[in-house]
Every structure is written in structure tokens, then in C-alpha cells.
Structure 1
Amino acid sequence: MNFEELGISKDLVNVLKNRGINSPTPIQKESIGFIKSGKDVIAEAQTGTGKTLAFLLPIFENINPNANYVQALILSPTRELAIQITEQAIELSKGKNINVLSAYGGKDIAGQLKKLKGNIHLIVATPGRLLDHLDRKTVNLSKLKTFVLDEADQMLFMGFKNEVEAILKEVPKKRQTLCFSATMNSQVKKLAYRYMTNPVVVSIEKEEITLENINQEVVETTDRRKQDALCSVLDKDNPFLAIIFCRTKRRADALDEALCQRGYNCAKLHSDIPQSKRERIMKSFRNADIQYLIATDVASRGIDVTGVTHVYNYDIPETSEDYIHRIGRTGRAGKKGYTCLFVAPKDERYLEQIENAIQYTIPRREIDNN
């Protein structure tokens, strides 16, 4: 099945082809038709399965570019994710005459308000910033047709339930509601069913599929030798694009400084870095102007970059879910990926938990400690 068969117009298909996207992913095949026909949809799919296009494409087909009001709203838990969705939406808008506004913290609100005076068809927002606009009466959602709750599990985990409910009070009762989530726990289902009408449930197999494409290894080292062990591995692998995960901002700062001094082409990404700089860093990383991105878990939620070949866990994650999420930044869209986990003796219990969760004993990688 191709995009045309799913009812996607030639203009959008051409935009996709220019980006090297020729055939739909399972989540796109399953959900585009339902969304295009106006049904409410609950979709369970991991990051990296193409879920953003699964809702953007049919939304773009349903928006009337000649109607001068906000027709669709996409709510995202993090700025990074909002930026990514906006980038994809702006790319698609080249195929249709549709205006997209992004509203998230760290962006110049005066500039946004100026832009809002224009004809906006689609808003991509984080909850706090959108509520700010609603309070100022600078956004009018009274004619909204489609409401999307993206990463619903993260939205609830990060404590945005009240904000989401406050926003839902501002939109018409008769609307299409789409809920996308990596996991469908009872909280997500409760929220979804409360605000949806006879939703279609779409669920795509996860975790195992992703891990099949990723070659995982462990390097056993000590805290003192860890930095040298990492550099030894980086020199041998020389990856095209790699993410190096650290547990804290301070650890990321220290590693970034050390690797820069050693001549590696790297940049750090964490929540203390100003939003405008984070956007510049992500753009450079996407363009492969930066080879190594040193990130914390907070930042990892927004890293959805095609072409990440390697993921290095400099610090072991505290949960198996975090491990799976981190390594899922590579081996995407059917491509092969590689991940290496650095383990000091004190990390053994975490490693055991991870191996139990993924039901796999990760092979050990021998390195030259000299």
C-alpha cells in the first residue's frame, strides 16, 4: 500500500518523496484512513515509528486553506517534540497553502503574537504556553476541528493533566480527538475515553521490533577509566552521527568539555541550555555538522533524528525503560543501529535489570585499555 492509496494528495506525496519517504509505516497504514474520515483515534505506537506523519498527513488533507481560523491543534509535552512536529508540519505546508504556528516556552511571545494576527490553520504547542495564549485571548479555538494529544503517557507523567483538561474546555465539544501514546496505561485510557467519541483503537507492535535492528554491546570499565574507554570506542567506530547519554547535566558538561579538548566534534544538549541555542544545536546535528551529541534523558525525549547510527550510554540509565528509549534513537525506520553501554562495577545491578527486561544477555566488548 502506498500513500496515494491511503488518500494522500499528489502535492504531499511529492513533499514526502523529496524527503526520501516512499512508503507508509504500519502506524501510518493503520491510522491515516480513520483520521482522514474524521473518526476519533487512540493510537499506541513508539517514537520512531512514523506517528507524527500518521496524524499530520490526514490533518493537512482535512484543513481548508481558505478558511481563516485555527482548524487543528497538536499538543506536545516537551518543547523539543513541539519543534520537531513543527518542522515536519512546515515541510508539508510547502505542498499545501497552510499556515503553521508553534507556541512553546522559550520562544519570543511578541513575535508569536504578531504572527498570530495572520491566518493560522494549525497550532503546535506545549500546554503551558498555549494556556498563556488562551488567557491573553490571543488564540481562539472556538472553531477547532481536530485536537491531537501527542505522547499522552509523557503528558500525564510530567503532570500536565490539569492543563490538558483546561485546554479541552476551550475547544468545541463536536470535534475530532486523536490520542497518540507509546504506552496505553490505565491513566491514558481514562483520559482518552473521557474526551473521545467511539474511538478506533490502533496498536502497533513495539520494543522487540526496534531492538532487532540494534546491535547492543557492553564495555566493562571503571569510573576512572571510563572516559578513556569511551574515546577508544569512538576512535574505533568513527560513527556518522552519535548520541552520548549522561545521567546529569553536570556530567554532560564535564564530558563535553573533555571531548572538545581532545578534538572531538561535539555539542551538549540539556535543559539548562537556552531554547534558541538548543534549536541551533539540533539543526547542526540533523545536518551532520556535529558528529557527537552529548545529552541527558530530559533532552532525549525530543531527539528524533534520522541517521543516528550509534548511541553510547556513557552513564547507565536507572531503568530499563530509559535504556530502551535511549537506544531507540538509532536503528530507526528499518535501518541498522549500534549501541554501547559503559558499565562500572557499581552499575552491575542496573545492568542485570536491563538484561532481564529485554530478555537478552548483552555481549561484552573488549577494548584496548592502553
Structure 2
Amino acid sequence: MTFEEFGFKSKIIEAINEAGFKEPSPVQKEAMPVVLQGRDIVAQAHTGTGKTAAFGLPILQQLKLNGTVEAVVIVPTRELAVQVSDELFKFGRFLGIKTATVYGGSSYTRQLKHIESASIIVATPGRFLDLLNNGQIDINPSFVVLDEADEMLDMGFLDDIKKIFKFLPSDRQTLMFSATMPKEIKELSKTVLNNPHFISITTGEVTNKNIKQYYYVVEEYERDDALIRLLDYKNPHKSIIFCRMKKEVDRLCTFLVSQGYSAKGLHGDMEQRQREEVIKSFKGGSIEILIATDVAARGLDVNDVSHVFNYHIPFESESYVHRIGRTGRAGKEGLAISIVTPHEFNSLVRIQKSVGTTLESRVIPTISEVRERNQTSLTVKIAEQDISQAAQMLVENLKEQFDISTIAYKLASVLFHEQDVSGKDTIGKTTTEVNKLISNYREEKSGSSRNRGRNQRGGRSSFGGRRDGGRSSGGNKSFSSKEGSSGSRDSSGGARKPSSSRDGGSRSGSGSRNR
């Protein structure tokens, strides 16, 4: 299915094509026809499934552009307000659509000025209710959207939402989007929506089919080394690393920056100004790695994130879906990588079953594999590189001291020195060891089904790092495991300056990794 089949205006299609969208996501396919029919909807869909376009495009199609505010989108956080506003502006810019972003901590005067010329308001509940209560705005929108409704409930905005709807006209189209459907959200939908059409994206559609999902099994003390080695090998264009706790974000950010990476952290304890600067830097490309907590990254909308790393596997399957939904957007391919320990294997299995997805096992690349990848990348770069005048002058000067072969060898040595890889050669579990973990898991579950009492008396779990007593097992869909040779690893490419290992070895060079 294509976006043209919805009958959108040519200027909207032009904006869709410019954004790089190829085909509608599942929630877009189901929601957009209903919205275009004028029906209220309640859509259950996870972050990263294209909800903004699902409600934004059909609303833009129906705007009369009469010089008044025709649509209001209510979101839980300032960051999400900015991102939704930006996306709606991009979709409607060829139509001359203007959006106003309304949230606390910013100038009332400036926001009111923007509202005067806007067709769409994107607002957080608190500030929007303030403007309504104080009589500073008088609007009559035809469209009202509640985005991330469950998140607004968790943040205590339910009463504010109810009060806001008392100021809004009854003759309106109301659209509600939520990742989950707790009782309070269902009750709210009964009071603010009129005979809504319900949409629910099934578990099989929860994770984007454009996202490849891999996991690597390591010991706890190897997490940092494994992350650095994966960053060096995969050379992500733009990546997000998820941590469970704010203190872990700060520690990991400090560590990566000390290793020469272009990275910044994002979490709830930061001031709003700092958070906005970090997001702006990440979206603009001045930093390549964002390290964040789940809450801080909720609703983060950056279309060119190539990799998502789970430094720790999340506790909840919903958090996993939210995390990996940061990549594989706008029809592009993405890669989600989880670093897990043997003790976390049960959590990995639970997430796979809950989400209905498949994570494939991979082995951390060795030093020789990273060097081979670097050499291949350098060969391509050299072949494609144009010869500058400054380079010609440098070589001519060097020819006064060396022959041309020696010059070439020395320049190549400089490049390889900057990308030298140090540290342990082997990090994490091998394919055989991972297969033993999988086999032990199956045996443990099978034994538990036969005799739960005996299994509970059997001592510590077989996931506690034991390397014996399990037969090698393969071929399972949810636990496919690839051999550790470079020929069987994934082919995401590019070279990058390497890291040092915490177990020894020194970094060659200390310059910034920002390309």
C-alpha cells in the first residue's frame, strides 16, 4: 500500500516523499482511513510505530486554513511536544501550515504570539490548561488528539485532561493514541469520544519489521568492553544507548567520552535547557551517541538513528518495544542490539514471548575481525577519495625524502595507527556456550513442567554462567545462534577509531571520534 492511495493532496505527498516515507505502517494503514471518514478513534500502538503521521496526515488533509486554530494535539512531555510539532510542520510545510508549541518553563508571551498565526497547537496539559483557565486563548478546534494517553495518566495529568475538554467544543473529532489501555484510559475514552472506532496493533506487529534484533551474551564485568567493541565494529551513524538508571547514564557517558566518542547523556534530573540542547545536538548530528533512560527518551523522534543498544535488558517488554522503536523509522532499516548476561537470560526469553519477536544470537567480534573491517572500509574510502591540491603538495614535499612506495606505506600506517584495536581479543560467550545456555534453559523448563518441586531444590539456575552439562542446540527460531566467523556475522559496516579495554591495553590516539 502507498500513501497516494489515501487520496492526500499533492503537497502532502510531496512532503511525505521528502521525509523518506515509503509505505504506511500498520497503525497508519488502519487509522488514517477512519480519521479521513471523520470518526473518533482509540488506537493502541507503541511508540515508534508512526502514530504522529497516523493522525497528522489525515488532519492536515482536512484543514480549512481559515486563519484559526483548527487542531490541538495534547502530549505528556515538552520534548514530545517539540518533536510532534516539528513533524507536523514538516508534513504541512508545502501547504503553509504553522504550528505552535505550548509547554511550561517557556515565555507565555512568545507562545501566545505563535498561537495567533498557527493552525495547529501541540501542548502539554499543564500549560495548555493555564492558558484556557486564564482566558488567554479562545479556540474552537475541529480536531483534538490525545497522544501517549497512558503516559499522561502515569504523570498525573488525568484531571487536567478532563478539565481541558470542558473548554473544547462538543462538535469535534477526537483521536486517542496510547501504548497500553489501563482502566482509567478506557473510562476517559467513554467520556470524551463519540462512538469511537477501536484499533489495536497485534503483538506480531509491535516491533518494526525493518529492525534487525540481535543479542550478545557477556559476563557482567565485560559490558563496557563489549559495548566499545560493538561500536568500533558496527560504526553506527547515529545511535542511542539505553540504561536503566540515571547514574548509569552519567557514568557511561563519562566513560565513552574519555574513550574519544562523541556522546552525551539524557535523563530526568537534567535541567530543561540542558535536555533541549542535548536533543538538538543529537538531531543535528553534532553528537553521534545519545545515552538515555527510558523515561527521558520517551517520544524521542529522530528518523536517522541507525542503531539502538540495550546496555541492560529492560525489565518490561513494553520498554523494550519503546527502545528499539527509536530506529528503523521512515522506511529505513535499523539494528537493535541487547547486551545480556547469563543471569538475564530469563528476562530475554520473557521479552521475546511477550513481544512476539525473534532476537538472534551473535558473538562479540574479535580484534582481528574489527581490523579486517577497518581495512575494508579504508580501502573503499581511499578508492573513492578525490585528490586535493593540499594532498598533492604534501606528497611532492615527501618525495624529496622518500620514494613513492615508502610514502604510501607511511601514510597507510598513520591511518591504521589511528584505528588500532586493543584490549582482550575475545569478549563474551562463544556460540557453543550460548547454545548450552539455550539447551539448559529448555531442559530446566522441561524439568520444571515435570516436577516443579525437584527443580526448586536443584540449587542455582543453569543460567548462572555454568559452561558444562548442556548439549549444543540450534535451529530454534527464537534463539538462532550464528558462528563467530566474520563470514556469518551481520554486515553493517564502516570503520571507527577503537577503544581501550578495561582489562588492559592502551588506546592509540585520544582524538574525538566525531566524524
Same fold (TM over 0.5): yes
Q: Give distance in 1, aligned partners of 2:338 and 2:5.
A: 43
Aligned equivalent of 2:15: 15
- Cα 1:35–1:269 change in 2 (3 A) is same
Aligned equivalent of 2:361: 363
Answer yes or no: is the 8 Å Cα contact 2:100–2:120 preserved in 1: yes
1:79-98 alignment runs, 5 A limit: 79-98=78-97
Three-state SS of the structure 2 residue aligned to 1:316 is: coil
Q: Give distance in 2, aligned partners of 1:208 and 1:17.
A: 24
Q: Which runs of 5+ in 2 are unaligned?
A: 366-425, 428-502, 504-515
Q: Which of 264, 267, 275 is residue 264 of structure 2 equivalent to?
A: 267
Q: Which of 88, 101, 119 is residue 121 of structure 1 equivalent to?
A: 119
Q: Which of 231, 235, 249 is residue 234 of structure 1 equivalent to?
A: 231
Answer yes or no: is the 8 Å Cα contact 2:281–2:287 preserved in 1: yes
Deviations 1:279-332 (A, max 9, x none): 333233234332211111111212222222211111232222212221222234
Answer yes or no: is the 8 Å Cα contact 2:43–2:199 preserved in 1: yes
Greater mean alpha carbon deviation, residues 304-313 or residues 80-89: 304-313
1:269-348 alignment runs, 5 A limit: 269-344=266-341, 347-348=344-345
Identity of aligned residues (%): 42
Q: Give distance in 2, aligned partners of 1:97 and 1:214.
A: 34
Q: Give distance in 2, aligned partners of 1:233 and 1:5.
A: 41
Q: Which amino acid aligns with 2:215?
A: V
Q: Which of 143, 160, 165 is residue 163 of structure 1 equivalent to?
A: 160
- Cα 1:22–1:312 change in 2 (3 A) is closer
Following TM superposition, by how much is the alpha carbon of 1:254 offset from its aligned partner in structure 2, in angstroms? 1.2
Q: Give distance in 2, aligned partners of 1:3 and 1:348.
A: 41
Answer yes or no: is the 8 Å Cα contact 1:217–1:365 preserved in 2: no
Three-state SS of the structure 1 residue aligned to 2:207 is: helix
RCO comparison, higher one (Cα < 8 Å, 6+): 1
- Cα 1:356–1:205 change in 2 (3 A) is closer
Q: Give distance in 2, aligned partners of 1:280 and 1:230.
A: 25
Q: Which of 134, 138, 143 is residue 136 of structure 1 equivalent to?
A: 134
Answer yes or no: is the 8 Å Cα contact 1:106–1:274 preserved in 2: no
Deviations 1:102-121 (A, max 9, x none): 112333333213333x2332
Answer yes or no: is the 8 Å Cα contact 1:35–1:55 preserved in 2: yes
Q: Which amino acid aligns with 1:224?
A: Y
Q: Which amino acid aligns with 2:10?
A: K
Three-state SS of the structure 1 residue aligned to 2:33 is: helix
> By percentage of residues, which structure has more strand?
1
Answer yes or no: is the 8 Å Cα contact 1:107–1:275 preserved in 2: no
Answer yes or no: is the 8 Å Cα contact 1:314–1:341 preserved in 2: yes
Superposition CA RMSD, Å: 2.5
1:188-199 alignment runs, 5 A limit: 188-199=185-196
Q: Which amino acid aligns with 1:277?
A: Q
Following TM superposition, by how much is the alpha carbon of 1:212 offset from its aligned partner in structure 2, in angstroms? 4.6
TM-score, normalised via structure 1 length: 0.89
Greater mean alpha carbon deviation, residues 33-42 or residues 259-268: 33-42
Answer yes or no: is the 8 Å Cα contact 1:70–1:140 preserved in 2: no
Q: Which runs of 5+ in 1 are unaligned?
A: none
Q: Give distance in 2, aligned partners of 1:60 and 1:155.
A: 24
Q: Give distance in 2, aligned partners of 1:63 and 1:54.
A: 15
Aligned equivalent of 1:103: 102
Answer yes or no: is the 8 Å Cα contact 1:48–1:333 preserved in 2: no
**Does residue 1:37 correspond to 2:34, yes or no?**
no
Q: How many residue pairs were aligned?
A: 367
Aligned equivalent of 2:247: 250
Deviations 1:315-352 (A, max 9, x none): 23222221222122223455433222223465455445
Answer yes or no: is the 8 Å Cα contact 2:207–2:355 preserved in 1: no
TM-score, normalised via structure 2 length: 0.65
Deviations 1:12-40 (A, max 9, x none): 21122222235433333333233233221
Three-state SS of the structure 1 residue aligned to 2:95 is: coil
Q: Which amino acid aligns with 1:60?
A: L
Following TM superposition, by how much is the alpha carbon of 1:219 offset from its aligned partner in structure 2, in angstroms? 3.1
Following TM superposition, by how much is the alpha carbon of 1:252 offset from its aligned partner in structure 2, in angstroms? 0.7
Following TM superposition, by how much is the alpha carbon of 1:156 offset from its aligned partner in structure 2, in angstroms? 2.0
Deviations 1:130-149 (A, max 9, x none): 112223322223x2211111
Q: Which amino acid aligns with 1:106?
A: G
Q: Which amino acid aligns with 1:128?
A: G
Q: Which amino acid aligns with 1:274?
A: E
Greater mean alpha carbon deviation, residues 16-25 or residues 320-329: 16-25
Q: Give distance in 2, aligned partners of 1:239 and 1:361.
A: 19
Answer yes or no: is the 8 Å Cα contact 2:207–2:321 preserved in 1: no
